[in-house]
Structure 1
């Protein structure tokens, strides 16, 4: 079955819409990090299980905004490890929303280059999506590093034994961010293929 130019750009468009929807949903939900308490062994903490997002945490069914703003906090009162974690969190909440904005502009560029059937524009837009995907990758990866360091800092402060009945995991909000990243890579590959096909189609009349 021969793949057509129209099929490639249509597939790229669908992937773009899905990528944008996945990342927007990821940023707007609070299942990035999940903390579960073993109620059988810790009956006094039955309401302490929580799940958190980039800007808020849901603890015991109640939503709370993060009490520390990484952009306004007084860093002179914090330890070196606390400063590092705040810097990482601040970078995450800038990178991922910026990646969402870049996805929107990338969709517009992709539509224009597809309608123009320009190999140069299609290649440029594909490169744009590859660069945008790096921002999503860095943001999601940095969040994982931040979460592990926060857990390590908590263990240092309260002791590993105190956390023996606590299970932590990454939730579906983070998984949606990874899906968005994968789709951005797919979009770039599809547009590169479409650019090569458009280039061949332009050459055919000139050689006839």
Structure 2
């Protein structure tokens, strides 16, 4: 017969997965590496500093061009955002994330089409990629799913145990 993992251990694992998921999501939302545009040095014709100035990286809240020049896209913590009803804030958040996802997909496809239509040699030193902030968001999604599965397994084990929740007098 197979030994079952105690429900308490499953709940502890689910809680740890939930905490890890929250930390990963907070890190991904707070960083500016969702979308990357990198320009190589083009065979030594461009200095490392010039190539770095031509690149950019962006997050959900700001766009950073070059080394330190960051432009805020939206200020989610400004005083104006506190005056918006909570339900509207949730809707705006959902639309922002959806819009960002569509933008990332569209701009990648537009760049690929531009390279195809025009001189491919001109764009061979430009690279567009998703960044590690997006990877953190996906890891957060996975650990949140794992937390849910562990909670369901714990609930199932408690349901199968006879008199697990009854109090004897």
Match of 2:161 in 1: 201
1:14 matched to 2:12? The reply is no
Q: Residue 31 of structure 1 contacts residue 172 of structure 1 at CA under 8 Å; is this kept in 2?
A: yes
The aligned counterpart of 1:26 is 28
Maintained 8 Å contact 1:32/1:52: yes
1:94 correspondence with 2:51 = no
List gaps (5 residues or longer) in structure 1.
Answer: 70-90, 98-138
How many equivalent residue pairs? 143
Is the 8 Å Cα contact of residues 7 and 157 (structure 2) preserved in structure 1?
yes
Q: Tell me how far 1:145 sits from its aligned partner.
A: 3.9
TM-score (norm 1): 0.57
What does residue 58 of structure 1 align with? 64
In 2, distance between residues paired with 1:23 and 1:96?
17
Q: Distance in 2 between matches of 1:166 and 1:54?
A: 22
Query: CA 1:2–1:202 in 2, change beyond 3 Å: closer, same or farther?
Result: closer
Distance in 2 separating the partners of 1:205 and 1:55:
48
* Structure whose residues are more often helix by fraction: 1
- Per-residue deviation, 1:96: 9.2
Counterparts of 2:162 and 2:6 in 1: how far apart (Å)?
15
Structure 2 residue runs without a partner (length 5+): 76-89
Counterpart in the other structure of 1:148: 105
Contact 1:22 1:177 in 2 (8 A): yes
Change (3 A) 1:61 1:148: same
Q: CA separation in 1, counterparts of 2:95 and 2:10?
A: 27
Q: Is the 8 A contact 2:61 2:74 kept in 1?
A: no
Rg comparison, structure with higher value: 2
Query: TM-score normalised to the size of structure 2?
Result: 0.68
Give the secondary structure class of the aligned counterpart of 2:161: helix
SS at match of 2:155: helix
Checking the alignment, whether the CA contact within 8 Å between 1:30 and 1:54 is kept in structure 2 is yes
Determine the C-alpha separation between the residues in 2 that align with 1:96 and 1:23. 17
